[in-house]
Homo-oligomer: A and B are copies of this chain.
Amino acid sequence: MSESNNPASLDVVAIGNAIVDVLTQADDNFLVRHGLTKGAMALIDEDQAVALYGDMGSGVEVSGGSAANTMAGLASLGGKAGFIGKVKNDQLGRVFTHDLRAVGVEYDTAMAAGGAATARSFILVTPDAQRTMNTFLGASAALGPDDVHPGTIDRAGITYLEGYLWDPAEAKEAFRKAADLAHASGRRVAFTTSDAFCVDRWRDEFLDLIESRVHILFANEAEIMSLYQVDNFDDALQHVRGHCDIAALTRSEHGAVILSGDEVHVIDAEPVTNVVDTTGAGDLFAAGVLYGLSQDMDLHTCGRIGAIAASEIISHYGARPEANLAALVKQKLG
């Protein structure tokens, strides 16, 4: 591994699906009627998108995308963030672009001029604040290796990759190129497994990637158990040790565990009075941890910042911060 000669001018650059979320309230019957698995992300085609949207209640459009949410969070924490992902040059594509740039994230991926529309995820929020996502990937799937510029990866201390991107074939190549470039530059690679069904589709490739390329792994309880095909979290913990430098594993209201070599840190969830919508909780936890790591903070503090950022996002609809996270963290950590 050769070290890059340049100081990192970006703390983190993320590669992910560029998605506009369409949030709506739904009851459990709606999920049953449409055969949806609560809490999961399902990929849908355009026909399914039209059918689902036609049956959904009125929505709110908010820019989303897992890794993009993480970068918006990183910027709100005071970090220097970049994003690589594909929209079409349509109304929602311009909304996505505006929203990311407006919070200070560097984002210059060429918009698709033709082809499928900008990606949308129909997010059904049930009264228990759980979110169930149905994503039409659209233009997002047109991301390819040419969209990953070596200069950008070289400028970033950490390259962060979302597992969701493993579904579209071209995007997977972009993802691999970025991981290889980061590795070659001596930069760190972070990866989130994104979703348990996603892990199930790509288990062997994910394991291979983690072993060969990933320094910092993010996964939730269901994902890490699926990855190692074990039926309890403790067994998964034993497996993940040694597979990557740092593993940050989230457990919803039970907080998180961060492992690194012999270190184990148990992080409590930050108390939230009124959980409104859990969309983006994992994305913002990752933002906090990545921010802490980029500032060379200790792992416990990294985890605390992640928990604070996650607590902000679940207290309102949508997966982009409404509060200034840097100020919130300062207030909470003292």
Contact = CB atoms under 8 A, between A and B. Distances in A.
Interface of A: 25, 53-54, 56-63, 72, 90-92, 95, 98-100, 102-103, 117-118, 318, 320, 322
Nearest to A57: B102
Given A91-B91, A91-B117, A117-B91, A318 B102 contact: no
Given A59-B95, A61-B61, A91-B117, 7 more contacts: A53-B98, A58-B72, A58-B98, A58-B103, A59-B99, A60-B318, A91-B118
A61 B58 contact: no
Nearest to A117: B91
Nearest to A105: B58
A263 to B, nearest CB: 36
A118 B91 CA distance: 10
The copy count of this chain in the complex is 2
A61 to B, nearest CB: 4
A278 B56 CA distance: 26
A58 B53 contact: no
A232 to B, nearest CB: 39
13 contacts: A53-B98, A54-B98, A57-B102, A58-B72, A58-B100, A59-B98, A59-B102, A60-B60, A60-B61, A61-B95, A90-B91, A91-B91, A91-B117
Nearest to A25: B322
A7 to B, nearest CB: 29
B58 A102 contact: yes
**Of listed A62, A91, A102, residue having the most chain B CB within 10 A:** A91
Nearest to A322: B25
Contacts of A63: 58
A129 to B, nearest CB: 14
Contacts of A322: 25
Which 5 pairs of residues, A with B, have the shortest CB-CB distance? A61-B61, A58-B99, A91-B91, A58-B102, A57-B102
A99 B22 CA distance: 11
A62 B23 CA distance: 10
Contacts of A25: 322
A91 B57 CA distance: 17
A142 to B, nearest CB: 17
A320 B72 CA distance: 27
Nearest to A24: B102
Contacts of A320: 58
Contacts of A58: 63, 72, 98-100, 102-103, 320
A295 B256 CA distance: 54
A62 B57 CA distance: 13
Nearest to A92: B91
A274 to B, nearest CB: 11
Contacts of A318: 60
A214 B92 CA distance: 40
A134 B98 CA distance: 17
